[in-house]
Each structure stands twice: as structure tokens, then as C-alpha cells.
Amino acid sequence: MKVILDTNVIISASVFGGISADILDFCYMNYQVYVSDIILAEFKKVLLEKMKVPLYMIEEKVKLFQENFIYAKPTNKVPDICRDKDDNNILQLCDYINADFIITGDKEFRKIEIYNSRKILSPREFWTLLKK
């Protein structure tokens, strides 16, 4: 199964732990988790500028993600569906890799619910689905 963890889930997992960290670990162990330059760049920017995490710590995390997740560089067209340009880039990656799920903490993004037959779920919704 192919999974995309939105940047906010990766940030939450890295900084706060909790269900996002559980999802990240579970997906890493059981599924194919994909990242892209857009996801990694946003991860760096938020941690550096908003959370004031030291750059060396961010770079260690990014290296860990690059070594353990599957890197994709989408070349397909970016959809124009979401208000947030970064969310459109996640949809582009979803199309490019033919993802099964997008997991995001972004309420606005989750309003889409299904994109080209792929579910967009919160970490809690995904966790509940796994337990069924």
C-alpha cells in the first residue's frame, strides 16, 4: 500500500509524538511511504521558522526520511483544486505514485475526502480504519 503523510503529520510526529508518530512508525513498517522535495522543504521551513528547531536537528530528520521513505519527483501536472498550493502538490504526488491514502491533519484539505478514488484521512480516521 502506498501512503503519503502530509507535512503537518510528519511535523507533528517529529515534534509532539502521539498518534501522528504512531501512524508514521506503522506506515514505515508496513507500507510504502512517499516523500517529495515539496514535503521536505515545507518540513524544514516550518520547523526552522515557526518552531525555531536548530537546523542541524532538522537536517538529521530530513536525512532519516530520505533514507527510510521512498523519494518521488513528480513530473505530472499539478492539479488546481485546493486553495493551499502545497496541498495541490500533495495531490500531484498522489497521482504520480498512485497512492492509496493521503493522511493529513489539515481540516480544509480533508474536506476533499476522496481524490481520484484515494481517501484523504486524518491520522485518527486512518488509525480507526486500520483497527477494523
pLDDT tens-place string over residues 7-30: 999 999 999 999 999 999 999 999
The whole-angstrom distance between residue 9's C-alpha and the CA centroid of its chain comes to: 6
- Using a 10 angstrom Cβ sphere, with 0-12 exposed, 13-18 middle and 19 or more buried, the burial of residue 31 is middle
If one counts the domains in the chain, the total is 1
Structure-block grid coordinates of residue 52: 525555531
Q: What's the confidence (pLDDT) of residue 34?
A: 98
Cβ atoms within 10 Å of 10's Cβ, excluding its own: 26
pLDDT tens-place string over residues 97-125: 999 999 999 999 999 999 999 999 999 99
Q: Which domain holds residue 20?
A: 2-131
Write the DSSP symbol of residue 32: E
The whole-angstrom distance between residue 88's C-alpha and the CA centroid of its chain comes to: 12
Backbone angles phi, psi at 19, to 5 degrees: -65, -35
What is the pLDDT confidence band of residue 86, given thresholds at 50, 70 and 90?
confident
Task: Mark residue 100 as left, alpha or beta (left: phi above 0; alpha: psi -120 to 50; beta: remaining).
Answer: alpha
Residue 127 has pLDDT above 90, yes or no: yes
What is the pLDDT confidence band of residue 67, given thresholds at 50, 70 and 90?
very high
CATH code of the domain in which 55 resides: 3.40.50.1010
Backbone angles phi, psi at 5, to 5 degrees: -95, 120
DSSP-assigned beta bridge partners for residue 71: 35
pTM of the predicted model, to two decimals?
A: 0.93
Q: What's the confidence (pLDDT) of residue 132?
A: 74
Report, in angstroms and rounded to the nearest whole number, the Rg of the chain calculated over CA atoms: 14
What is the pLDDT confidence band of residue 35, given thresholds at 50, 70 and 90?
very high
